Amino acid sequence: MDLQATSPIPPAALPVAAFRDHLRLSSGFADGVTEDALLEQYLRAALESVERRVSRALFLRDYTLRLTRWRDDYAQTLPRAPVVVVTALTLRDRSGAQTLVPADRYILQADGARPRIVATGATLPAIASRGTVEIAFSAGFGAAWDDIPADLRQAVLLLAAQYYEHRDSGGAQDMGFGVAALLERWRDMRMGGRT
């Protein structure tokens, strides 16, 4: 399984000012641009860590999931939630030739925690031997920082602050109790190690 974000989070969407306030940093100094770039770096690292921990996309963006086989013949769970739309499902054979699967062959079950595509017939389209399938989809709570649930926003700020505070010592060893407590309700228990 290979998941790639195909649209980055725009710098303007990141809450650099809110993070600066959270850290109680002054502003207006000559090196403010350098400091903002550093704050953006810690915010992006914290966002990535939180998203991986809870299997949720915080900011709305596009993804491509590449698979060599289906989890089940009739359904495939998507590794990020909440999924807004599946934009394309493309089969590739071993030579790289592409076949776009008609949208009436599958549906999106946009369950908040475990979104998946499901065959409208008996099975999902067959993946050729040594071929792949690419699922293009959009997932996230929204395009703006305020669209993200408050506890997830707070977890990002706390974790980014932890990264910032421990920047000279090589970073903190764990997320810390406060961050873990905020994320606990969002964690999805997955049995059997399969996605």
Q: Parse the chain into domains and list their residue ranges.
A: 2-58+143-186, 61-139
Q: Between these two residues, 26 and 167, which has the higher pLDDT value?
A: 167
Number of H helices, E strands in the chain: 4, 8
pLDDT score for 24: 83
Q: How many residues does the chain have?
A: 195
Task: Report how far residue 169's alpha carbon sits from residue 187's, in angstroms, rounded to the nearest whole number.
Answer: 29
Rounded to an integer, the average pLDDT of 21-48 is: 80
Q: Which residues contact 17 (CB under 8 A, 6 or more apart)?
A: none
Residue 131, pLDDT > 50, answer yes
Residue 193, pLDDT > 90, answer no
Rounded to an integer, the average pLDDT of 93-107 is: 95
The amino acid present at 9, given as its one-letter code, is I
Report the chain's C-alpha Rg in angstroms.
19
User: 109 is written with which tokens?
Assistant: 């079950």
pTM: 0.84
Rounded to an integer, the average pLDDT of 157-163 is: 93
pLDDT score for 185: 85
pLDDT score for 169: 63
Residue 102, pLDDT > 80, answer yes
pLDDT score for 170: 57
Task: Report how far residue 88's alpha carbon sits from residue 186's, in angstroms, rounded to the nearest whole number.
Answer: 27
**Which CATH superfamily groups domain 2-58+143-186?**
Phage gp6-like head-tail connector protein (1.10.3230.30)
pLDDT score for 132: 96
Residue 172, pLDDT > 60, answer no
pLDDT score for 83: 96
Q: Which residues contact 96 (CB under 8 A, 6 or more apart)?
A: none
Task: Report how far residue 98's alpha carbon sits from residue 73's, in angstroms, rounded to the nearest whole number.
Answer: 20
DSSP 8-state assignment for residue 38: H
Q: Which residues contact 165 (CB under 8 A, 6 or more apart)?
A: 172
Rounded to an integer, the average pLDDT of 154-179 is: 80
Q: Which residues contact 48 (CB under 8 A, 6 or more apart)?
A: none
The amino acid present at 98, given as its one-letter code, is Q
Mean pLDDT, the chain, integer: 88
pLDDT score for 112: 75
